[in-house]
């Protein structure tokens, strides 16, 4: 059974990769990049052989403990639960959890994560090699336990989540919850670890602070389940036999608990394959809300699109994650600049902070570009109705601007009220207009050429397919690069305005004109391309999972 | 064993000078697989046309090419005089479509979905809303008008799809498996709606695997297999004195298990 399941997993993974040459090539490049990084990290870990066992222990516990924590989280976010070998798929076969578990576990070792951990093992072995046979053996056993712990916890937690999230409403809430957790955690991280001792915004972090910080983390991680297997060799090297033995026993108990939890989920999966449960959620359309949209087909597209921004958790998450960077940066600046006395540097920071709203506008291109992909095969409704490409592009652009413009205005006002650098307002307005309007225009055009099948919102897992992840990565790259090119003409006048205040107003006009032109041409040319390729677009956005 | 299309003439009573759908030399390949092969078919206006064929015969592929969802490799499709691929907007304005396998915008409520469908077809918001409410009532979905479509059962989703196809009062209805997953009571309502639609000179093309259903509902049928049209014409002529089920099996070449096949089955 183990061999069969591993073979099945590898075969299906290979077929998914082979689905398109572009995906295969990008996946290979991505994998080589990851492996390159891991090999460098393994050399770095191996280099810890040079330091004393207690320092080595501190660093390895912090690094590998963090990895053990991140593994199940990444399984959920990046790959979703192991859909290929979902126990529910075996529900009709005469197999029990006892038979399946070893095979499913073994399959979990095969993949990029498994390969990375194996490479890491070599570095870890080199780090502890010179510490004597006993400590080395303990390190190897500890690594094996830690490795199994990663895979087992990932499988157990994703299986548990898949069951808990079988209800659509619960799934939506969990997706939002996870996203908010990431936002809040990032903010807390920023606030807690803004380096007071360092000069400004993390520039010039001193090594002593980093070592202290890592030691602090390791001190906490060591006593959590994530650090147990990694702390064993360090304790042994320092002669703490009892502690090492206790950590070993605790790790074995932990592994047993993970295995039992997972086995329980497999048993449940085998007798009750998952169903997508409905909650009978009722919604009410608002007539007032509808008045904000023009009558006609483009207005109908816009109304539908904006409703999806609220009701589709994938889009809401996209919006929230787009807000993440500006919010974190703004909070960091506000915290860093909250000292009582204003210095010359603070005044410069004030001016810089008034330019931060441009970051929010940067997300316009990416958001507009992926909008059509999220429709999936429901896009067929528009094609059947004979909606023209122009009407589609107009409607979606309208909806994107209805969402982004008010947030942008509030953010802009907030930052200017804080900074008081009102003389920069024409510059910033020009840049924002260029990036926001131009971004929506470029997104409208690029979105007509470039789509990817997104997992429908009603399906089980939280992750994306490798294909969608790769395309999203490339899309994000284009979505960020394009606005940087758009603003070049405006930036010229912004730079000029530092010595010639009149240039600010030219920057405003140039920015608004650039944005408006790109918006117009993006919609027109994007619409034309859609008219010529509707069936092909439908084929691309339809999820083939 | 197949019969050429020409051997089954259409009943002259139908207006073939102004057909609802005219397909000429339609081809579609998926890689090396030929899904539809030189299909020539005419659907007269004002009839209930049953489009039948075994699994993988090319029914959905053909219907997708008629409705503008799938581009043919070559060949033409004309809907009520408009070329679907040269003048898609004019052709689509006259069609109401229930596709198979495509999702709806299921984060909208049933009523919102119908309003959207109506407005995309050029109805005013108020008219789309009024017709949507009436259709929901007729299909027994009024109580769930404000429930999001994602929370509907398969049968309810099918009915909303059908309502979307009807809301703009098209001239031609193209329905892929319209009765699949629909309960008998709603099925009866749908039959009545379709009969009323045809009586008012509308045309319905529906695909189905249930021969009894096609036999009782349709007056013209087309049989397709492996991308070829095997027979098309008035029901009475196509079934040639047999039940449609028997005639269908005869046309597409039924398989019979000989005595040796699967002899192990049930002998454990």
**pLDDT tens digits along A117-164:** 899 999 998 888 888 888 889 899 999 999 999 988 888 887 777 677
Residues of chain B with CATH 3.40.50.300: 1-94+171-254
Nearest chain A Cα distance for residue B209, angstroms = 23
Residue A265 distance to chain B (closest CA, Å): 26
Instruction: Give me the residues paired with residue B48 across strands.
Output: B204
Residue B268: CB partners within 8 Å, gap ≥ 6?
Answer: none
Contact A385 B120 (CB under 8 A): yes
Quote the CA–CA distance of A141 and A147 in Å, as a whole number. Answer: 10
**Count of CB atoms within 10 A of residue A104's CB?**
25
Residue carrying structure tokens 């709603």 = B186
Q: To which residue do tokens 């602090």 refer? A: A216
Beta bridge pairs of residue B26: B39
Residue A237: C-alpha distances to residues A48, A55, A138, A240, B261 (Å): 14, 11, 10, 7, 70
Distance CA B252, CA B224 (A): 8
Residue of B93, B103, B115, B157 best to disrupt the A interface, most CBs of A under 10 A: B103
- What is the C-alpha to C-alpha distance for residues A524 and A389, in angstroms, rounded to an integer? 8
A456 touches B at CB < 8 Å: yes
Whether the CB of A378 is below 8 Å from some CB of chain B: the reply is yes
Instruction: Return the SS3 of A277.
Output: strand
pLDDT in tens, B127-145: 999 999 999 999 999 999 9
Domain B1-94+171-254, architecture per CATH: 3-Layer(aba) Sandwich (3.40)
Q: What is the pLDDT of residue B100?
A: 87
Closest C-alpha to B157, from B134, B183, B120: B183
Report the candidate in A175, A478, A475, A180 with the shortest Cα–Cα distance to residue A327: A180
Closest CA to A250 of A265, A231, A264: A231
The string of DSSP letters for A384-443 reads HTT--HHHHHHHHHHHHHHHHHHHHHHHHHHHHHHH--GGGHHHHHHHHHHHHHHHHHHH
Contacts of A83 (CB under 8 A, 6+ apart): A460, A461, A545
- What Cα–Cα distance (Å) separates residue B201 from each residue in B1, B19, B95, B170, B219? 36, 12, 14, 11, 14
Question: Whose CA is closest to A78, among A475, A458, A470?
Answer: A470
A289-299 per-position pLDDT tens digit: 777 888 899 99
Helix (H) or strand (E) holding B26: strand B21-30
Distances (CA, A) of B51 to B58, B65, B206, B217, B234: 10, 14, 6, 12, 12
Q: Which stretches of chain A drop beneath a pLDDT of 50?
A: 79-82, 195-205, 340, 460-466
**DSSP structure string for A10-41:** HHHHHHHHTT-HHHHHHHHHHHHHHHHHHHHH
pLDDT tens, A6-27? Answer: 888 888 778 777 767 777 887 7
Q: Which residues pair with B43 in a beta bridge?
A: B21
- Please give the Cα distance from A473 to A470 (Å, whole number): 5
Q: What is the ipTM score, two decimals?
A: 0.89
The pLDDT of residue B65 is: 96
Q: How far apart are CA A322 and CA A302, in angstroms?
A: 20
pLDDT for the residue B9: 45
Minimal C-alpha gap between A382 and chain B (Å): 7
- Spell out which residues of chain B touch residue A381, defining contact as CB-CB under 8 Å: 102, 104-105, 116-117, 120, 164
Residue pairs between chains A and B whose CB atoms are closer than 8 Å: 114
What is the DSSP-derived secondary structure letter of residue A453? P
Output B258 or A492, whichever has higher pLDDT.
A492
Distance from CA of B249 to the nearest CA of A (A): 32
Residues of A in contact with B103 (CB under 8 A): 376-378, 380, 456
Q: Inter-chain contact B164–A381, Cβ cutoff 8 Å?
A: yes
């Amino acid at each position: 059974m183990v061999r069969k399941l591993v073979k099945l997993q590898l075969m299906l993974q290979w077929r998914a990769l082979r689905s398109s040459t572009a995906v295969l090539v990008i996946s290979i490049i991505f994998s080589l990049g990851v492996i390159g990084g891991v090999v460098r990290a393994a050399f770095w870990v191996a280099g810890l052989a040079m330091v004393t066992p207690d320092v080595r222990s501190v660093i390895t516990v912090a690094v590998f403990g963090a990895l053990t924590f991140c593994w199940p989280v990444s399984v959920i976010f990046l790959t979703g639960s192991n859909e290929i070998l979902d126990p529910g798929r075996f529900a009709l076969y005469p197999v029990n959890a006892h038979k399946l578990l070893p095979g499913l576990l073994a399959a979990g070792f095969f993949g990029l994560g498994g390969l990375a951990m194996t490479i890491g093992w070599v570095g870890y072995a080199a780090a502890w090699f010179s510490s004597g046979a006993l400590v080395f053996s303990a390190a190897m056993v500890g690594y094996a336990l830690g490795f199994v712990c990663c895979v087992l916890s990932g499988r157990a937690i994703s299986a548990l989540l898949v069951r808990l999230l079988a209800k659509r409403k619960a799934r939506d809430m969990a997706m939002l919850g996870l996203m908010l957790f990431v936002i809040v955690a990032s903010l807390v991280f920023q606030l807690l670890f803004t380096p007071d001792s360092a000069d400004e915004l993390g520039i010039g972090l001193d090594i002593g602070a980093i070592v202290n910080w890592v030691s602090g983390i390791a001190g906490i991680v060591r006593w959590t389940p994530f650090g147990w297997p990694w702390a064993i060799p360090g304790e042994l090297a320092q002669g703490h036999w009892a502690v090492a033995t206790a950590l070993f026993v605790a790790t074995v108990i932990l592994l047993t608990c993970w295995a039992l939890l997972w086995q329980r989920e497999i048993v449940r999966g085998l007798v009750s394959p998952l169903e997508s449960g409905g909650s009978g959620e009722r919604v009410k359309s608002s007539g007032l809300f509808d008045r904000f949209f023009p009558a006609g087909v483009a207005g109908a597209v816009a109304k539908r699109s904006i409703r999806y921004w609220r009701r589709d958790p994938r889009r809401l998450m996209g919006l929230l994650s787009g807000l993440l960077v500006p919010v974190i940066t703004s909070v960091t600046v506000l915290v860093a600049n909250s000292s009582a006395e204003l210095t010359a540097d603070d005044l410069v920071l004030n001016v810089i902070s008034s330019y931060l709203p441009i970051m929010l506008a940067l997300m316009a291109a990416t958001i507009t570009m992926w909008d059509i992909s999220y429709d999936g095969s429901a896009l067929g409704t528009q094609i059947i109705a004979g909606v023209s490409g122009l009407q589609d592009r107009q409607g979606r652009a309208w909806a994107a601007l209805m969402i982004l413009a008010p947030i942008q205005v509030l953010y802009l006002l907030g930052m200017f009220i804080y900074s008081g650098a009102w003389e920069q307002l024409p510059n910033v307005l020009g840049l924002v207009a260029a990036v926001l309007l131009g971004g929506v225009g470029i997104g409208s055009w690029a979105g007509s050429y470039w789509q990817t099948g997104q997992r429908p919102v009603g399906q089980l897992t939280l992750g994306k397919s490798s294909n969608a992840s790769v395309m999203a990565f490339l899309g994000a790259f284009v979505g960020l690069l394009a606005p940087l090119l758009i603003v070049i003409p405006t930036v010229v006048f912004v730079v000029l305005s530092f010595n010639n205040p009149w240039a600010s107003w030219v920057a405003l006009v140039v920015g608004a004109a650039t944005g408006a032109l790109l918006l117009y041409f993006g919609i027109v040319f994007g619409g034309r391309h859609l008219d010529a390729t509707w069936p092909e677009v439908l084929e691309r956005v339809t999820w083939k999972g | 064993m197949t019969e050429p299309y020409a051997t089954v003439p259409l009943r002259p009573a139908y207006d073939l000078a102004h057909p609802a759908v005219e397909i000429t030399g339609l081809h579609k390949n998926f890689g090396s697989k030929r899904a539809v092969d030189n299909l020539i078919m005419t659907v007269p206006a004002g009839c209930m046309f049953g489009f039948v064929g075994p699994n993988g015969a090319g029914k959905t592929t053909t219907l997708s090419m008629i409705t503008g969802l799938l581009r043919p490799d070559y060949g033409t499709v004309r809907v009520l005089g408009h070329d679907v691929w040269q003048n898609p907007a004019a052709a689509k304005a006259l069609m109401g479509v229930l596709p198979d396998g495509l999702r709806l915008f299921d984060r909208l409520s049933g009523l919102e979905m119908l309003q959207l469908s109506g407005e995309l077809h050029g109805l005013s918001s108020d008219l789309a809303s009024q017709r949507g409410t009436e259709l929901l009532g007729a299909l027994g979905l009024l109580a769930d008008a404000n429930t999001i479509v994602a929370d509907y059962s398969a049968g309810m989703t099918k009915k909303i799809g059908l309502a979307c196809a009807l809301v703009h009062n098209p001239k031609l209805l193209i329905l892929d498996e319209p009765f699949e997953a629909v309960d008998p009571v709603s099925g009866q309502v749908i039959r009545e709606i379709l009969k009323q639609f045809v009586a008012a000179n509308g045309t319905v093309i529906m695909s189905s695997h249930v021969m009894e259903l096609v036999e009782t509902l349709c007056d013209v049928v087309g049989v397709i297999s492996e991308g070829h049209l095997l027979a098309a014409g008035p029901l009475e002529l196509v079934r040639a004195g047999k039940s449609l089920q028997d005639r269908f099996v005869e046309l597409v070449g039924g398989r019979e298990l000989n005595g040796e096949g699967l002899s192990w089955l049930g002998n454990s």
